[in-house]
A and B are shown apart, each in its own frame.
Chain A
Amino acid sequence: MSDVPDGVATNRAIPSTELPRLDDIEFEPLDPRHLKVRLGVRLVPLVIGLVAAAVSAIAGAPGWVSLLGAAATLLLVGLSAVAALVETRRMGYAIREQDVSLRRGVITLRTSSIPHHRVQNVSVERGALSRLAGLASVTVSTAAGGSGRLTIPGLANDTAEQLKTLILDRSLLDDES
């Protein structure tokens, strides 16, 4: 026990030119089915809005009210569909030896990274629609709580399980090495 452990002994300064750069690597895109799921979810408010407009027209509301309602529904759902489209295109995740990263955002762009050995727990979730599409999301949390959490959506079921196992293994492996 007299030797100083490796982790403590090697702490040389890394020149910034030698830093492993996260932006040099390719981020992996999400499963294409994820976009369909996100668009599918938006059918619900679309149908509700349009039906409500139709009902109000039948019930004798002034024509412009129903038209305005339908137009607003179309506009809002359309905008959120475009946002979903843009975000899904942009989203990607990357697993390196030491950390897992996620890139996301529509207007504000974020790239968050969590070192594997900081992972406190990994969970896999499947929503009702995602389950139909065979998709799952993986959430990685750290001791930083809610703000230090990262959720990778739109993963095929087996990819999600593999990812979970990989991150979990690495988080444990680091503790023992």
Chain B
Amino acid sequence: MSPAEAEVALRAGRRQSLWAPVFMMLTAARRVGIAQFAILGALLVANRSSVVLLTIAPLVAVLAIAASVLAWWRFTYTLSDDSLTVDSGVLNRQRIVVPLAKIQSVAIDQKLLHRPIGLVEARVDTAGSSSAELTIHATDRVTAEVIREVASRARAIDSAASPQAVAGADAIDGEVAPVAPPDPPVVILRRNVGELITVALTTQLAAGLVVLAPLFAVAGQLDEWFDVPLPQVQIDGAGDLIRTAIVFGAIAVVVVGAVRVLSVVIADYDVTLTRDGRALRRESGLFDRRSTASSIVRVQQLEVSTNPLQQRVGMAAVRLPTAGDSDEIRVDGTRLDELAVLRDLVIDADVQIDTTSRGIDRAAAFAWWRWPVMLSTIATAVGAFWTPWALLGLAASPVSIWSARRRQRRWLWDNTSIGLKVEHGLVATSSTELALRRTQSAAVTQTFFERRRGLASCTVRTAESGVTVPFIALAEAQRLRDTALAATASDRRPWF
């Protein structure tokens, strides 16, 4: 069949190859679990004489075949000038219309089982979901290629018809001319082994000390308040149990730290972030050298987190969620001056927000501590029947309350008509900054707790992540939502 014939057939509406039911059954079987079938087979072999099993098994097989043949019969795909329509479903009829210009990719796979029959599997993917939008289990290669070809043609026409797609992207770089000479690649940051060890230790301790976070925070603050080295812990007269615990804890910390350092050095060896024209390229790795490049305009938001240790060495962990799942850029050890360069690259200057001044309602602290306090109190009361030591659990409540209060006080946010920034964290500070024009959807949510207090949360979702501002006044949440919607309605630069 020639491509032209295939296209005509596609426009008339097509079914998958007659082999498709086999692949559909295999997919369904994999979903049920191979183990279940193995057990069923074993049962059959063991009870060869069982009448029930001998009738049920063929019945199930016949039903499965009938169902997949029916599913194959009801699954048709039709090409029109601007969309691909798929009708499917045996009992529940479903129709999916995918605009051709929005198809991101058509993956054509030939799996082992496809080979002898010379067919392929085609997966049509839009940006809308992490899994493929629709899968054609078995079709001939020509048809699959035609779908891919038609989609890429539609995309090309689409981007030609909207000049601002190109100009807008350029405007981010401050260039209006459609054709600018390509800039030479600029290295934004590069980490050597010594710096990577610092990175591994500072980020690792933060992760390892999550349990001891409140203590850590107090120690950090004591240090700041009194400008003295951390107080020495006295273990004179401590029991064997405590001594063993400390020794084992220390060994665990050292081992985990060493493993962490090794894995960071191997994975991030010579990590280099380069700006190459309109793309950001990250390269790293000792054995497997991994290189990813993503277009700067597709970066959805800037996420920065620093714990007190990182702050002391002047580094931050930076994450750049980028539209398209796999190519998120992250650098755990970004110096503050490099961070400023990165921020200017991914967040427009007028969108940037320097200080966040608005807080969230005090009720948030109550919402966060009420369950931990209730549960720990009940656990303590129950435990006290066995051993009086359980009464130590009473200390959990003040700690929960204190940390919930601290979290609430440290939760800050602010927005302009085009930007949004939030900062929060118990000990470490995480901040997220984004341009509101990247809003994919916006929602105002009121839990029962919030509703009784006239509060609400506002969630702004971008193509890769998003931000939720919880426990703010309902009117404020609505205003943030309306601002986000207005920002995306008035600014038509593409989000990807």
Chain B residues within an 8 Å CB radius of A128 = 91-92
Closest Cβ of chain A to B163, distance in Å, is 6
B481 at the interface (CB under 8 A from A): yes
B95 contacts A123, C-beta separation under 8 Å? yes
Q: Report Cα–Cα, A121/B85, bound state, in Å.
A: 11
B493 contacts A143, C-beta separation under 8 Å? no
Chain A residues within an 8 Å CB radius of B490 = 7, 10-11, 14
Q: Report Cα–Cα, A20/B94, bound state, in Å.
A: 35
Given contacts A114-B440, A145-B128, contact A21 B94 (CB under 8 A): no
Closest Cβ of chain B to A5, distance in Å, is 3
A59 at the interface (CB under 8 A from B): no
**Segment at the A interface, from B54-62, B213-221, B441-449:** B441-449
Given contacts A7-B491, A143-B323, A175-B162, contact A123 B94 (CB under 8 A): yes
Q: Binary interface profile of A, 122-137, with partner B (CB < 8 Å = 1, else 0)?
A: 1111111001000000
Given contacts A115-B439, A121-B133, contact A126 B92 (CB under 8 A): yes
CB-based nearest B residue for A106: B448
B492 contacts A121, C-beta separation under 8 Å? no
A148 contacts B440, C-beta separation under 8 Å? yes
Given contacts A2-B176, A144-B466, contact A111 B443 (CB under 8 A): yes
**Segment at the A interface, from B97-105, B287-295, B338-346:** B97-105
CB-based nearest A residue for B463: A143
Closest Cβ of chain B to A122, distance in Å, is 6
**Segment at the B interface, from A38-46, A73-81, A166-174:** A166-174
A118 contacts B439, C-beta separation under 8 Å? yes
Q: Report Cα–Cα, A123/B83, bound state, in Å.
A: 13
**Segment at the A interface, from B164-172, B236-244, B278-286:** B164-172
B485 contacts A113, C-beta separation under 8 Å? yes
Closest Cβ of chain A to B88, distance in Å, is 10
B126 at the interface (CB under 8 A from A): yes
Closest Cβ of chain B to A44, distance in Å, is 14
B496 at the interface (CB under 8 A from A): yes
A146 contacts B129, C-beta separation under 8 Å? yes
Please tell me the size bucket of the interface on B.
35 or more
Q: Report Cα–Cα, A2/B163, bound state, in Å.
A: 11
Chain B residues within an 8 Å CB radius of A148 = 440-441, 461
Given contacts A5-B168, A143-B463, contact A118 B479 (CB under 8 A): no
Instruction: Mark out the residues of chain A between 120 and 164 whose CB falls within 8 Å of any chain B CB in the assembled complex.
Output: 120-128, 131, 141-148, 150, 164
Please tell me the size bucket of the interface on A.
35 or more
Q: Report Cα–Cα, A66/B113, bound state, in Å.
A: 53
B158 at the interface (CB under 8 A from A): yes
B446 contacts A143, C-beta separation under 8 Å? no
B93 at the interface (CB under 8 A from A): yes
Closest Cβ of chain A to B323, distance in Å, is 6
Q: Report Cα–Cα, A127/B93, bound state, in Å.
A: 7
A8 contacts B82, C-beta separation under 8 Å? no
| Residue of B92, B418, B441 with most partner-chain A CB within 10 A | B441
B92 contacts A125, C-beta separation under 8 Å? yes
B462 at the interface (CB under 8 A from A): yes
A120 contacts B126, C-beta separation under 8 Å? yes
Instruction: Mark out the residues of chain B between 451 and 476 whose CB falls within 8 Å of any chain A CB in the assembled complex.
Output: 451, 461-464, 466
Q: Report Cα–Cα, A113/B253, bound state, in Å.
A: 47
Q: Report Cα–Cα, A79/B369, bound state, in Å.
A: 29
B417 at the interface (CB under 8 A from A): yes
A113 contacts B481, C-beta separation under 8 Å? yes
Instruction: Mark out the residues of chain A between 72 and 121 whose CB falls within 8 Å of any chain B CB in the assembled complex.
Output: 98-99, 105, 107-115, 117-118, 120-121
B444 contacts A110, C-beta separation under 8 Å? yes
Contact of B171 among A4, A21, A120 (CB under 8 A): A4
B168 contacts A126, C-beta separation under 8 Å? no
A126 contacts B466, C-beta separation under 8 Å? no
B401 at the interface (CB under 8 A from A): no
Given contacts A2-B176, A110-B445, contact A145 B129 (CB under 8 A): yes
Q: Which 8 A-B pairs have the closest CB atoms?
A: A7-B492, A5-B164, A120-B128, A143-B127, A112-B443, A144-B440, A143-B463, A98-B489
Interface residues of A, Cβ cutoff 8 Å to B? 1-2, 4-8, 10-11, 13-14, 16, 19-23, 98-99, 105, 107-115, 117-118, 120-128, 131, 141-148, 150, 164, 168, 171-172, 174-177
A-B contact pairs, 6 of them (CB 8 A): A21-B478, A23-B478, A121-B96, A125-B94, A143-B463, A144-B463
Other than the given A6-B492, A22-B478, A144-B466, 11 more pairs (CB < 8 A) read A8-B164, A21-B478, A108-B446, A118-B439, A120-B127, A120-B128, A121-B102, A144-B461, A145-B130, A168-B99, A177-B492
Interface residues of B, Cβ cutoff 8 Å to A? 82-83, 91-99, 101-102, 126-130, 133, 158, 161-164, 167-168, 171, 176, 178, 323, 350, 416-418, 439-448, 451, 461-464, 466, 478-479, 481-483, 485-486, 488-493, 495-496
